[in-house]
Amino acid sequence: MPTSIYSPEKLDPEALDRYLSEGWRALGQRLYQADYIQIEPGRLSNLIPTRLPLAGHSWGKRQRKLLRDNRRFFRIEYGPACLGPEKDAVNQSYALLHPEKTMEDLRYHLEYEGRAVINTWETRVYLDRRLVAFSFFDLGHEAAYSKAGIYDPALSAFSLGLFTLLLEVDFCKERGLRYFYPGYVSPDTPQFDYKHRIGDLELWNLRTQSWHSQTDFPPGQRDHIQYIHTALRALEAELEAAHWSARRFAYLNSDIRLGDDRQTEFLDAPAVLAVYKDRKTRIWLVTYDLSARQYVLQAATAISYNFHASTDPDWPALPFIASYPQRLGQAGSAAEMAEMIKSYSVGGR
């Protein structure tokens, strides 16, 4: 899917269901899609959207125990999401321990440019009268998306982050929803593996653009970046055999489109093969479209320098931001793309 962000003026529950079913995720009151981001500086990670089918869902022994024990100890409330000093205090404590996992201003989750277009709800967990944890989740017609779980770190022994996630699932089951979307996981880091603890998640397959069970989409097939690297290496070998110079790069700025409204003006790819330079700032780059299974030849303008250093010595960072990409052609095989590159050069285009 192309990396993009969507800021709707309004969004009805059925539309949210549709976007979630197509692999989009919530980002505050906006929606986004991205297959790769820098979770750690200097390295792009694969993102795999997940969802939990709720029909027939049941808790495992550990989840039942956590729900039972914490429900005895804490008071639980649900309701439309709102802001307040109690939540700010919990968020500030949480941010001291996990600054990368929360936003300083909680309004980020509930409004964008002064408007709220998604029906965001919350769980609230109290110890006596004191708020100690809360979470935000978006309700559609038949689906819900979990987007934030925040708790007092002093009570981390109670697993309140996981607890609020389980509470959201129970709430959705009671309302008869079909799917619960807990966000993404990544084969490149165990940071998000806790999400598997809520049940048998389905995973979004970038290559097929559809949802699969984990059995049908085994771990060995989830590293999309590696597939792209393999394809570009094959083209590099074809070009080297023809004595054509080419250099491979990681494109660490591929997620820049999420922070800029001019999304189509930036290259969207986790890795590229630089094959030609027709003037000072215009560069020919080959990317690989995994869902279409095609090599794509593009001319892009180098603007600004990239200050990210790659942690992979085999794939150094492209030293600039690639802007205004112009598609010149596509091919289904490395050999066909190599011929296309040579023919473009000979033709002087």
Reported as a single tens digit per residue, the pLDDT across 156-171 is 999 999 999 999 999 9
Instruction: Report pLDDT for 89.
Output: 96
Instruction: Report pLDDT for 219.
Output: 84
Q: Percent of the chain having pLDDT more than 70?
A: 94
DSSP 8-state assignment for residue 102: S
Domain shared by 242 and 181, yes or no? no
Domain shared by 206 and 251, yes or no? no
Domain shared by 61 and 93, yes or no? yes
Task: Quote the domain boundaries for residue 228.
Answer: 224-347
**Within 13 Å, how many C-alpha atoms sit on residue 204's CB side?**
26
- Domain limit, last residue, from 198, 217, 236: 217
How does the average pLDDT of the chain come out, rounded? Answer: 91
Higher pLDDT pick, 78 / 262: 78
Please write the tens of the pLDDT for every residue from 7-19.
888 899 999 999 9
Domain shared by 245 and 141, yes or no? no
Domain shared by 204 and 318, yes or no? no
DSSP assignment of 67-89: HHHHHHHSEEEEEE----HHHHH
- Domain limit, last residue, from 170, 194, 217: 217
Q: How many domains does the chain have?
A: 2
Please write the tens of the pLDDT for every residue from 41-66.
889 999 999 999 999 999 999 999 99
For residue 202, the tally of other CB atoms under 10 A from its CB is 20
Domain shared by 292 and 212, yes or no? no
Higher pLDDT pick, 190 / 100: 190
Instruction: Report pLDDT for 347.
Output: 42
Taking residues 90-115, what's their average pLDDT? 90
Domain shared by 238 and 335, yes or no? yes
Which of these, 145, 211, 192, 207, lies nearest to 172 by C-alpha position?
145
Domain shared by 257 and 302, yes or no? yes
Domain shared by 26 and 131, yes or no? yes
Domain shared by 191 and 244, yes or no? no
What H or E segment, with its residue span, contains residue 236?
helix 224-241
- Domain limit, last residue, from 194, 217, 240: 217
Domain shared by 78 and 205, yes or no? yes
